C-alpha cells in the first residue's frame, strides 16, 4: 500500500465526514489526515511529517528572535535585507527615509 492509500484508510476509519471532504477535494489529504489524527489523539493540532503549522509568530517576534540569537551588526542586517530585495532596496529605502 502507498502512503496515500494508508492515510485515506485511516481517515475513513476514524472520520467519515472528513473522508468525504478529502474525496470531494475540499481539503487536502494531509489536512484531512491531520484532522483525523487530532481527533484520535485528543489534541488541538496534529503536525505530521512535512506539514507546517499555521500558527506562525508575528514578524516582530521573528525578527526579535533573530536579533537575540544572531546579534547581527547593522551592516550585516542591511546586507541580508539587500540580498533579499536586490532590485527595490535602494528605492524603497529612499522612499522610507523621505517620510
Positive or negative, the Cα torsion across 19, 23, 29, 35? negative
> What mean pLDDT, rounded, does the chain reach?
82
Model confidence at 53, pLDDT cuts 50, 70, 90, reads: low
Torsion of CA 53, 58, 64, 67, to 10 degrees: 60
pLDDT score at 40: 67
Identify the residue with better confidence: 33 or 46: 33
pLDDT score at 60: 93
Amino acid at each position: 500500500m502507498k502512503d496515500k492509500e494508508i492515510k485515506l484508510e485511516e481517515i475513513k476509519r476514524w472520520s467519515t465526514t472528513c473522508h468525504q471532504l478529502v474525496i470531494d477535494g475540499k481539503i487536502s489529504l494531509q489536512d484531512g489526515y491531520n484532522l483525523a489524527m487530532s481527533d484520535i489523539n485528543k489534541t488541538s493540532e496534529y503536525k505530521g511529517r512535512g506539514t507546517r503549522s499555521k500558527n506562525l509568530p508575528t514578524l516582530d517576534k521573528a525578527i526579535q528572535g533573530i536579533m537575540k540569537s544572531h546579534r547581527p551588526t547593522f551592516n550585516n542586517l542591511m546586507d541580508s535585507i539587500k540580498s533579499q530585495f536586490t532590485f527595490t532596496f535602494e528605492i524603497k529605502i529612499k522612499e522610507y527615509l523621505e517620510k
